[in-house]
Amino acid sequence: MSEQFEPDERARAAERQRHAGFSEADVQREVTELEEKSETAARIFDLRRIIGGLFVVYGVIVMIVGLTDDQAAIDKAQGININLWTGLGMLLLGIFFLVWLKLRPTSHPTPTLPPEAASPEGEPPRGE
């Protein structure tokens, strides 16, 4: 997994690469690749996906329990099928989180590479 770098760390890493013989284009390309990996990790581990998925799964399980409850369990809850209503609420909350994720995905502005940073096709960046 990649981690996001602070501006100071990014500047120090760029300076180390320049001293190691990398051009500015190579440094820019490396920074862009790291930012893309960081954005991918942020999308994968978005808490809305995790929370929404868990609430949907648990909501379905609790609703099934509520549908199969016997009368004694319903009487114990003063005549309310609490498992059914709680499961429905959890399911709706989980769906809300997943819809929210779909409508407002996490996106970070992707920097554009300067023209001199683009390598010719098929040629790997210097230093790899």
Span 3-47, pLDDT tens digits: 555 566 766 776 776 666 677 777 777 777 777 666 666 666 788
| Cβ neighbour number for residue 9 with a 10 Å cutoff | 11
Q: What is the pLDDT of residue 2?
A: 45
Amino acid at 112: T
Q: What is the pLDDT of residue 25?
A: 75
Most confident of 22-26, 111-115, 118-122: 22-26
User: HSE on the CB side for 30, CA within 13 Å?
Assistant: 19
Q: What is the pLDDT of residue 92?
A: 97
**How far is CA 21 from each of CA 8, 9, 24, 118, 127, rounded to the nearest angstrom?**
20, 19, 10, 18, 9
- Within 8 A by CB and 6+ apart from 7, the residues are none
Higher pLDDT, 113 or 56: 56
Q: What is the pLDDT of residue 86?
A: 96
pTM value is 0.54
**How far is CA 99 from each of CA 49, 56, 84, 94, 128, rounded to the nearest angstrom?**
10, 12, 22, 9, 41
pLDDT in tens, 55-111: 999 999 999 999 999 999 999 999 999 999 999 999 999 999 999 988 987 765 555
Residues 24/18, Cβ–Cβ less than 8 Å: yes
Amino acid at 104: R
Q: What is the pLDDT of residue 80?
A: 93
